[in-house]
């Protein structure tokens, strides 16, 4: 026994920051950003918190699935930008939803977090411990960005996505990998309360080596997608859609070029409208595909992500 996806939901803040807006803040241009990253605009929080966004996405997923909050047996949240270290995002979402006292916990795996959460949920379904699970990703990346650094501030955006899972046989295969280290991507935590700590403190903003990230992302996406397709016993022709992490249009484009067995139009893209929303990017894109009617019962969907850690994940879901 694994699970099936019963419903999806997503949310993005009202404020939109365009490339033109950013050109007045740092030395950049719409042409430069579009060519190198593929982003035209991104949503940015003004008064919304990570919890606010997660709750909105969760409510929409529950409505889409026909499941009531009190029916949930577990809530798993994926985030690197929760409002508080404790309580975690999952517990805060539970409180706002009125979801009883089901167990809640957060996963911090950066961009592949949503896919890691799906795999964790699968274990609880396999052991017969749950019947309904909410998986929610919410990221306020705008609070972790150096807005004077044009190499990173043009990439990221804020948003949340969620999925409600129920018993079924729709989770067909998965792969998770981690190559630990902070040399390529890192976001330091600024622990500055202790009067005894003597080491210098790093600024808690996203640090990323662009070229190394690009090579890692393309290689891992191609490898992981092929592995989960083989394990699920499906071909590229059978794949209805690929939901790739929306980190950079050039990364997605190069990965689909190296995966000729899957038609390029099957790789869904919304980075131009949202930017990189870290772990929320896959569920946001999945929700768009669901609500646009692109996915029909029985369709095979491949999800793939990569990011800080360095971690990767991919899976095949039968809709």
Task: Report the pLDDT value the prediction gives residue 201, as an integer from 0 to 100.
Answer: 83
State pTM to two decimals: 0.96
Task: Name the pLDDT band for 189 (thresholds 50, 70, 90).
Answer: confident
Task: Report the pLDDT value the prediction gives residue 168, as an integer from 0 to 100.
Answer: 97
State yes or no: pLDDT of 210 exceeds 70.
no
Q: Determine whether 43 is an active site residue.
A: no
Using an 8 Å Cβ cutoff, are 217 and 248 in contact?
A: yes
**Rounded Cα–Cα distance for residues 270 and 280 (Å):** 12
> Which one is catalytic: 19, 64, 207, 276?
276
**Rounded Cα–Cα distance for residues 115 and 150 (Å):** 29
Report the pLDDT averaged over residues 203-221.
Answer: 84
**Rounded Cα–Cα distance for residues 48 and 217 (Å):** 30
State yes or no: pLDDT of 1 exceeds 80.
no
Task: Name the pLDDT band for 190 (thresholds 50, 70, 90).
Answer: confident
Query: What residue ranges define each of the domains in the chain, with the CATH number in brackets?
Result: 2-169 (3.40.47.10), 174-318 (3.40.47.10)
Question: Considering only CA atoms, which of 64, 38, 50, 39 is closest in space to residue 13?
Answer: 50
Mean pLDDT (the chain) is 95
Task: Name the pLDDT band for 268 (thresholds 50, 70, 90).
Answer: very high
Q: Determine whether 245 is an active site residue.
A: yes
> Which one is catalytic: 43, 104, 153, 245?
245
Q: Which residues contact 102 (CB under 8 A, 6 or more apart)?
A: 72, 73, 74, 75, 94
Report the pLDDT averaged over residues 226-250.
Answer: 97
State yes or no: pLDDT of 214 exceeds 70.
yes
What are 190's two structure tokens? Answer: 């600024």
Task: Name the pLDDT band for 255 (thresholds 50, 70, 90).
Answer: very high
Q: Determine whether 111 is an active site residue.
A: yes
**Rounded Cα–Cα distance for residues 204 and 161 (Å):** 24
Task: Name the pLDDT band for 147 (thresholds 50, 70, 90).
Answer: very high
First-last CA distance in the chain: 15
Task: Name the pLDDT band for 182 (thresholds 50, 70, 90).
Answer: confident
What is the DSSP pairing of strand 41-43 with strand 16-18? Answer: antiparallel
> Which one is catalytic: 111, 207, 290, 315?
111
């Amino acid at each position: 026994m694994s699970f099936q996806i019963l419903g999806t939901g997503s949310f993005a803040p009202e404020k939109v920051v365009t490339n033109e807006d950013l050109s007045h803040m740092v030395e950049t241009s719409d042409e430069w950003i579009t060519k190198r990253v593929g982003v035209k605009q991104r949503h940015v929080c003004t008064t919304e918190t990570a919890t606010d966004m997660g709750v909105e996405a969760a409510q929409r997923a529950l409505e889409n699935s026909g499941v009531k909050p009190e029916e949930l047996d577990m809530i798993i949240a994926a985030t690197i930008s929760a409002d508080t270290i404790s309580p975690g995002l999952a517990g805060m979402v539970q409180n706002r939803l009125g979801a009883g006292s089901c167990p809640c916990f957060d996963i911090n795996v950066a961009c592949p977090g949503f896919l890691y959460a799906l795999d964790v949920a699968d274990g609880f379904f396999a052991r017969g411990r749950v019947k309904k699970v909410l998986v929610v990703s919410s990221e306020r990346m705008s609070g972790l960005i150096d807005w004077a650094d044009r190499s990173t501030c043009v990439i990221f955006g804020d948003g949340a996505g969620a999925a409600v899972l129920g018993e079924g046989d729709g989770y067909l295969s998965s792969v998770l990998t981690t190559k630990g280290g902070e040399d390529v991507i890192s976001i330091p935590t600024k622990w500055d309360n202790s009067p005894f700590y003597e080491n210098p403190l790093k600024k808690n903003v996203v640090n990323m080596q662009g070229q190394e990230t690009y090579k890692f992302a393309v290689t891992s996406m191609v490898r992981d997608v092929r592995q989960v397709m083989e394990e699920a016993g499906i071909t590229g022709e059978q794949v209805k859609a690929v939901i790739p992490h929306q980190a950079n249009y050039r990364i997605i484009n190069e990965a689909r070029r190296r995966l000729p067995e899957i038609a390029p139009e099957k790789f869904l893209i919304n980075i131009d409208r949202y930017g990189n929303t870290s772990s929320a990017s896959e569920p946001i894109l999945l929700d768009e595909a669901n609500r646009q009617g692109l996915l029909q019962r029985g369709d095979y969907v491949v999800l793939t992500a990569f990011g800080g850690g360095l971690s990767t994940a991919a899976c095949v879901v039968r809709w």
